[in-house]
Amino acid sequence: MHKPYSKRKATPRLDIVYSIDELTRRRILAVLEEHIGPGDRFFREMQSKLMREYGYLDVFAYRGARISDDPVIDHFFRCADDHVLDFIEFAFRCTTFDNVQEGVDAVNSVFEDANVGYRFSDHIPEKSQSIRFGKKRTQAPARFPEAHKITDSSAYESIVHPTLTFFAAPEFEIARDEMMKALAAERQGQTEDAITLACASYESAIKTVLSIKGLAFDKDKDACAVLIKRCIDASILPAFYESCFVSPGAIRNKLGDAHGRGPAKQYAPDRIHAEHIIHLVCTNILLLKDIADI
């Protein structure tokens, strides 16, 4: 999704929110309207779905107080946040909604831009498939997008947020960009990418610390273990921290996608592994920052 200059240059919001304000709702409605085509068939179908689900619409009886003359639109702006998510799910299921996945990507982009802590899963269209051991073909039903909450925790506020704040310094631009990509990959369920990117950010941060301290290293060849050894040799880190600071690289080699791992995976990383490695590298970075007095 293209971002205009004003948003590209803006400092990203770091706080995840779970409320969907009016401005965000207006942007979402604009996205949905791009995919419904001319006429009011979409809104008639939506009204039917909403009434069947709730038995009512959240509209003011007094017409002059309504945001829109269309009861479906008025409902969208007045209903609770959970019902906004319901509304979007119903919209993706409407027969008049065109190019569902493009709509999903656009809505997710709005939420990400507003740092709203919800995302929608991908749309998987109906497809034909062969039954095993036979030639008979069946139709696999479509799987429509569903909303899910991005889990927040005290770890984000106490570990990830301070790390991103530390990375706001110009010297850490590369490390920050890699960490932001790791967080985005983790939110999208791209576990291996998240692990690899988090460790890339970790190594970039360590290299930046070494550069700030005026210490030599090979920017192309030195990986995690070597970089930590250089920190220890320069008395930036005590030697007893070596295993703790090297461990992200070892975990990345087992669970990430930065290296070839043969014809079959030995370990299948889950989202909890991505969350753990992000928190681990952020914790180490904050400690290194304080020990190195940066």
Which residue segments constitute the domains of the chain, with CATH numbers given? 5-149 (no CATH), 154-292 (1.20.120.330)
Distance CA 74, CA 66 (A): 6
Amino acid at 129: Q
**Structure confidence at residue 257 as a pLDDT band (50, 70, 90):** low
pLDDT at position 118 over 90: no
Average pLDDT over residues 202-223: 93
**Structure confidence at residue 189 as a pLDDT band (50, 70, 90):** confident
Instruction: Give 143's contacts (C-beta < 8 A, 6+ positions apart).
Output: 121, 123, 124
Dump strand ranges (E) for 105-193.
118-120, 127-130, 137-140, 147-149
**Structure confidence at residue 21 as a pLDDT band (50, 70, 90):** very high
Instruction: Of 225, 181, 227, give the one whose Cα is nearest residue 201.
Output: 181
Contact between 244 and 284 (Cβ < 8 Å): yes
Amino acid at 249: G
Distance CA 74, CA 29 (A): 11
Q: In whole numbers, what is the pLDDT of the chain averaged over residues? A: 84
Contact between 40 and 94 (Cβ < 8 Å): no
User: How far from chain centre, in Å, is Cα 210?
Assistant: 30
7-21, 191-205, 247-261: range with highest mean pLDDT: 191-205
Distance CA 102, CA 3 (A): 16
Place of tokens 């007045």: 78
pLDDT at position 227 over 90: yes
How far CA 24 is from CA of 43, 104, 229, in Å, comes to 20, 15, 48
The whole-number pLDDT of residue 133 equals 42
pLDDT at position 175 over 90: yes
Dump strand ranges (E) for the chain.
118-120, 127-130, 137-140, 147-149
Distance CA 132, CA 11 (A): 52
Q: Is the dihedral of CA 145, 81, 183, 172 positive or negative?
A: positive
Q: At what angle do helices 242-255 and 224-233 cross, to 10 degrees?
A: 170
The whole-number pLDDT of residue 132 equals 42
DSSP assignment of 189-244: T-HHHHHHHHHHHHHHHHHHHHHHTT----TTT--HHHHHHHHHHTTSS-GGGHHH
